Amino acid sequence: MRRFLRILGILILVLILGIAACVPLASKSLPEGYDAARADSLARAMQAAVNIKAWDSTTFVRWNFLGQHEHLWDRRANRARVSWGGYVVYLDAGTRKGMAYKDGSALSGEALDEALAKATDFFYNDAFWLNAPAKAFDGGTARLTIPDEKGLDAFIVSFSSGGVTPGDTYGWYLGEDGTPQAWRMWVQVLPINGLRMSWEGWDTLYSGARIATVHGTGPLKTTMIRDLAAAPTLDAIGESADALADWRFEVPQP
């Protein structure tokens, strides 16, 4: 048994070292950007292709991210219900304040703060994946073109502020009509620099806004945006009229 465990430990160590060795090989350096005016033009074409005007008029959106977090978002008020693992958090995405429950019990103090912080991280990440093209001209962004890949127009968007990991850069690769085909990510949370992932599985909301639901690398793809629904009213997506009422975001007074 000891000999078996020793061999198993060696094999695991070899596997870890192998993965670690592959990371630099799989990484791609951030290319030097140029021509900001051309990049802005490409970014506008991308936003037109996903119908940014329709997205701006979209009111309520509900989706599940990777089967882990469920979101119900009032885009006009910028408030959301974020649910996962027994937690239900009512989050004001602007102030990052709100109210939280665990298994139906109201949280307070440190437990409330931790739930709100976690919900904020989930929401910002998952809403970015929901429609990252819409963020191309956010405050604190800069855009530059980069060399094309596979004949596609390409540009990078760098975020100096916003979200939960400012400093990240994304390279966009577009089709002939401006629709995103893929992106590369130079982000703090990934060990591989410039990881390329596809943008596909396009769904069209009631407003006309287009959302990519499937992403992946090579043959490894998954539906990341699941159970997507949107409507001008809550009841139209099966939610109660008070699902995001003001009182749900308020901390109960003792």
DSSP 106-160: EP-HHHHHHHHHHHHHHHHHHHHHH-GGGGTT-TTEEEEE---BTTBEEEEEEES
Q: Is 231 within the bounds of a domain? A: yes
How confident is the prediction for the chain on average, in pLDDT? 88
Q: What is the CATH number of the domain that holds 179?
A: 2.50.20
pLDDT of residue 170: 96
Helix, coil or strand: residue 69:
strand
pLDDT of residue 140: 92
Q: Is 54 within the bounds of a domain? A: yes
DSSP secondary structure code for residue 95 in this structure? T
pLDDT of residue 147: 87
Which residue segment(s) compose the domain that 106 sits in?
36-249
pLDDT of residue 162: 63
Helix, coil or strand: residue 40:
helix
Q: What are the pLDDT digits (tens) for 64-92?
A: 999 999 999 999 999 999 999 999 999 99
pLDDT of residue 161: 72
Q: Which residue has the tokens 């956010």?
A: 138
Q: Is 28 within the bounds of a domain? A: no
Q: Is 186 within the bounds of a domain? A: yes
Q: Is 9 within the bounds of a domain? A: no
Q: Which residue has the tokens 């997507």?
A: 228
Low-confidence ranges of the chain (pLDDT < 70): 1-26, 162-165, 254
Q: Is 8 within the bounds of a domain? A: no
SS3 content of the chain, % helix, strand, coil (to 5): 30, 35, 35
For the chain, the domain total comes to: 1
Q: Which residue has the tokens 């409507």?
A: 231
DSSP secondary structure code for residue 162 in this structure? S
Nearest 5°: the CA angle 148, 213, 168 is: 50
Q: Is 145 within the bounds of a domain? A: yes
pLDDT of residue 13: 32
Count Cβ atoms below 10 Å from residue 63 Cβ, excluding itself.
23
